[in-house]
Chains A and B, each alone.
Chain A
Amino acid sequence: AQTVTQSQPEMSVQEAETVTLSCTYDTSESDYYLFWYKQPPSRQMILVIRQEAYKQQNATENRFSVNFQKAAKSFSLKISDSQLGDAAMYFCAYRSANAGGTSYGKLTFGQGTILTVHP
Chain B
Amino acid sequence: DSGVTQTPKHLITATGQRVTLRCSPRSGDLSVYWYQQSLDQGLQFLIQYYNGEERAKGNILERFSAQQFPDLHSELNLSSLELGDSALYFCASSVGGNSQETQYFGPGTRLLVL
Listed in ascending order, the chain A residues whose CB lies under 8 Å from chain B are 32-33, 35, 37, 42-47, 50, 52, 91, 95-99, 101-112
- Given contacts A50-B102, A52-B100, A104 and B55 within 8 Å (CB-CB): yes
Q: Quick check: A97 and B100 within 8 Å, CB to CB?
A: yes
Q: Is the CB of B57 within 8 A of A103?
A: yes
Asked whether A44 and B105 contact (CB < 8 A) given A52-B100, A104-B99, A106-B48, the answer is: yes
Q: Which residues in B have some Cβ–Cβ distance to A below 8 Å? A: 2, 31, 33, 35, 42-45, 48, 50, 55-58, 88, 90, 92, 97-100, 102-105, 107-108, 110
Interchain CB contact under 8 A, B42 and A104: no
Contact of A47 among B48, B90, B104 (CB under 8 A): B104
Q: In the bound complex, do residue B107 and residue A43 qualify as a contact, i.e. CB atoms below 8 Å apart?
A: yes
Interface residue SS majority, chain A? loop
Tell me, in angstroms, the Cα distance from A111 to B39 when the chains sit together.
10
The answer for the CA separation of A72 and B111 in the assembled complex, in Å, is: 39
A32 to B55 CA separation, bound complex (whole angstroms): 18
When distances are taken between beta carbons in the complex, the residues of chain A under 8 Å from B45 are 103, 105-108
Minimum distance in angstroms from B20 CB to a CB of chain A: 20
Q: Are B56 and A102 in contact (CB under 8 A)?
A: yes
Quick one: which of B42, B88, B99 contacts A95, CB cutoff 8 A?
Answer: B99
Q: Which 5 A-B pairs have the closest CB atoms?
A: A106-B45, A45-B105, A105-B48, A105-B56, A109-B43
A59: shortest Cβ distance to chain B, in Å?
Answer: 13
Min distance, Cβ B108 to any Cβ of chain A, angstroms: 6
Interface pair A33/B100, CB less than 8 Å apart: yes
Bound state CA distance, A90 and B40, in angstroms? 17
Contacting residues, chain B, for A97 (C-beta < 8 A) = 99-100
Q: Show 17 A/B contacts (Cβ-Cβ < 8 Å), sorted by A.
A: A33-B99, A35-B102, A44-B105, A50-B102, A97-B100, A99-B99, A103-B45, A103-B57, A105-B31, A105-B33, A105-B48, A105-B99, A107-B35, A107-B43, A108-B45, A109-B44, A111-B42
Q: Assuming A103-B57, A105-B56, what are 6 further A-B pairs, CB within 8 angstroms?
A: A46-B2, A97-B100, A101-B56, A107-B103, A109-B42, A109-B44
